[in-house]
Amino acid sequence: MNSYVLMLQADPDDQDLTAASIAEINPGLEIKYLSRPDELDNYIRDNGQPSIILLNDHGTITERGQVLRRLKANTAYGHIPVVVLGEKSSPDYVKECYKAGASTFITKPSSLKATHKKIETFFSYWSEVAEV
């Protein structure tokens, strides 16, 4: 990945956990955090396009769907992969995220070790396998 990763994550503890895992896995990867979905458009306009947008599972599916649809409808950056990080993983819930425009849905693990492994696998895929 040659630009930055943008993560919508309001919880500072989750930001710290993600940052620590990424620093260990890929120290050169730049990740930026936003707390609110209404900051996305201005941030991307002012800072350039990220390689990937990570959308933490917060708010209702309706709110998340609105954010996904708004991102995907934007002709300037609708092509950017948007990955939803969710605590729920029912088939209907995941399907709704995909219908709204998610590129991938990842269920958050419950342990720190599993979280680190999932982050490592995710960034290995996006930096070594996928073309973004």
Each residue's pLDDT tens digit, 45-92: 899 999 999 888 666 667 778 888 988 998 988 999 999 888 777 888
CB 57 within 8 A of CB 64: yes
* pLDDT at position 1 over 60: no
Q: What is the pLDDT of residues 119-129, one digit of tens each?
A: 888 888 877 88
Q: What is the pLDDT of residues 99-121, one digit of tens each?
A: 999 998 988 888 888 887 888 88
* pLDDT for position 59: 62
Q: What is the pLDDT of residues 21-34, one digit of tens each?
A: 788 877 888 889 99
Lowest-confidence segment of 1-5, 94-98, 109-113 by average pLDDT: 1-5
65 is in which domain, residue-wise? 5-128
* pLDDT for position 6: 92
The tally of domains found in the chain comes to: 1
Distance CA 13, CA 84 (A): 18
Alpha-carbon torsion, ordered 64, 29, 132, 76, to 10 deg? 60
* pLDDT for position 80: 92
Which distant-in-sequence residues (6+ apart) come within 8 Å of 129 by Cβ?
A: none
Residue type, 27: P
Residue the block writes with tokens 């707390």: 35
Question: Buried b vs exposed e over 112-121: b needs ≥16 C-beta within 10 Å?
Answer: eeebbebbee
Distance CA 33, CA 19 (A): 10
CATH of the domain at 95: 3.40.50.2300
